[in-house]
Amino acid sequence: MQWLFRTLSVYLALSLSLAVPSLDDRMMADHHGDHRVSSHHFAKMDRCEGIEFDAIAPDEHGVTFFFKGDHMWTGFHGDATLLNSLYKELDEHHHLGHVDAAFRMHHPADPSDHDHIFFFLDDKVFSYYQHKLEAGYPKPISEVFPGIPSHLDAAVECPKGECVADSVLFFKGSEIFHFDTRTKNVKMRPWTHLPNCTSALRWLEHYYCFHGHNFTRFHPVTGSVVGSYPKDARNYFMRCPKFGHGSDDTERERCSHVHLDAITSDDLGRSYAFRGNFYLRLSDRQEEGWHAFPISNTWKEIGGDVDAVFSYDSNLYIIKGEQVYIYKSGAGYTLIEGYPKSLKDELGIEGPVDAAFVCGDYEILHVIKGQSMYEIDLNATPRGVRKEAPLFFPKVDAASCGPDGVKVFVGPKYFHYESPMLFSASRIQPHPHKISLELLGCDH
């Protein structure tokens, strides 16, 4: 186990030193946020009801936090917690109940500011590291960011390469201030074409202005908006099960940044990706791309929220919790009599599992569960785990195997390996691909 933690911390250090936050939200949210319990009683806000956020910012682990009043949310799914459970001074010093803006400093001029989270409240700025307020803070904004006004609306960091120099963009009304973190030069630009942003986020090297429950993607240097915006944030940055009726499910499901639950191709060559209550199917005419449908249309015994799906011997296996459903693939899918059965009885492993796949005609099932991958011989009776290998990723959402190798899905990204063996042996992260852009053919 020790070496695994060591590998993990190297991985963490590595990913933090890169411009791209390579640890995704979901993964970390599951490790940090969802289990946090607040001792206070408070009226829980539901972000699926359409919230105008005060601020959105990643923390030092790349987990995206959403802030509204005294509430905050960790990652793209899960319930609200109280702001003061993590950032208590924000409340104590001001009793104001909301922040104006926040951002994470990943590319500071002063290395000691690396990965600090800056919160802006009225005319003050608070700097946090690992949820602790830095000594000397809060300070006047004018001292730390000279030339930047008080009562801001939003802030987002923009590294060199995406901006001309390492910068922070501050938003107030329709005025945008580019603050060069090294020279401290400030350039004000009136971007009146952009809605007034109440929060701003950099996500997968793209820049998003949030206004109302909508967002608009913009270019961080020119402010230009390309594509049809605004879009509803609940479709792309949140997992809102009841939301989306009447909107274009295909567009939403293809372009969502929320993690996939499962992905597979069946023996007839049909490819499916599962997320929440929907699945995406790659059209037989590939150029027509992916289309979304409710899962219950095709697998009526399954409402949604599957854990893993794989195909074997003309059957499609759907794993949900401690149960496995086996469907005969034909023109449609028919549940085989006697199913669902318990995962333990059918495959000799306990749930919940994260992902499962079979490569081609091999009879070996690979099951990913936490930080391990298990091999199960599907020809054996009874079936059971015959091999276990530790994995490099802390959390895998889905995985599939095809003629070109194994694809491993983690948050909004996927990673490609030539074989299951190379995947389990790998101790470095290969080049990440973006699911929405490179797999599902979305343009953002």
Ligand X SMILES: *[C@@H]1O[C@H](CO)[C@@H](O)[C@H](O)[C@H]1NC(C)=O
Q: Which of residues 170-199 bind ligand X (CB under 6 A)?
A: 173-175, 196
- CB 194, min distance to ligand X, A: 10
The C-alpha atoms of residue 208 and residue 204 are separated, in whole angstroms, by 10
- 141, 126 in Cβ contact below 8 A? no
Nearer to ligand X, 63 or 233 (CB): 233
The C-alpha atoms of residue 223 and residue 219 are separated, in whole angstroms, by 5
- CB 211, min distance to ligand X, A: 5
Q: Which residues contact residue 52 at a Cβ distance below 8 angstroms, ignoring those fewer than 6 apart?
A: 68, 198, 210, 211, 212, 213
- 137, 145 in Cβ contact below 8 A? no
- CB 177, min distance to ligand X, A: 12
Closest CA to 440 of 309, 280, 308: 280
The alpha carbon dihedral of 68, 74, 76, 80 has a sign of: negative
Residue 261 one-letter amino acid:
D
Nearer to ligand X, 196 or 296 (CB): 196
- CB 233, min distance to ligand X, A: 9
Nearer to ligand X, 211 or 395 (CB): 211
- CB 190, min distance to ligand X, A: 8
Nearer to ligand X, 8 or 45 (CB): 45
Distance (Å) of CA 442 to CA 100, 156, 381: 32, 24, 44
* Residue 315 near ligand X by CB under 6 A: no
3-state secondary structure 68-133: ECCEEEECCCCCCEEHHHCCHHHHHHHCCCCCCEEEEECCCCCHHHCCEEEEEECCEEEEEECCEE
Nearer to ligand X, 170 or 423 (CB): 170
Question: How many chain residues interact with ligand X (CB under 6 A)?
Answer: 9
- 417, 399 in Cβ contact below 8 A? no
List, as residue ranges, the binding site for heme. 245, 291
- CB 192, min distance to ligand X, A: 8
Nearer to ligand X, 84 or 214 (CB): 214
Nearer to ligand X, 51 or 365 (CB): 51
Q: What mask, x for binding ligand X by CB under 6 A, covers residues 230 to 269?
A: x---------------------------------------
Q: Which of residues 5-64 bind ligand X (CB under 6 A)?
A: none
- CB 173, min distance to ligand X, A: 2
The C-alpha atoms of residue 348 and residue 384 are separated, in whole angstroms, by 4
Query: What is the maximum span of the chain, computed from C-alpha positions, in angstroms?
Result: 72
Q: Which of residues 205-224 bind ligand X (CB under 6 A)?
A: 211-214
- 106, 19 in Cβ contact below 8 A? yes
Q: Which of residues 117-176 bind ligand X (CB under 6 A)?
A: 173-175
Nearer to ligand X, 30 or 232 (CB): 232
- CB 199, min distance to ligand X, A: 13
Partner residues linked to 98 by β-bridges: none
- 395, 410 in Cβ contact below 8 A? yes
Closest residue to ligand X, based on beta-carbon distance: 173
Cis peptide before 138 (omega within 30 of 0): yes
> Could you list the residues that contact ligand X (CB under 6 A)?
173-175, 196, 211-214, 230
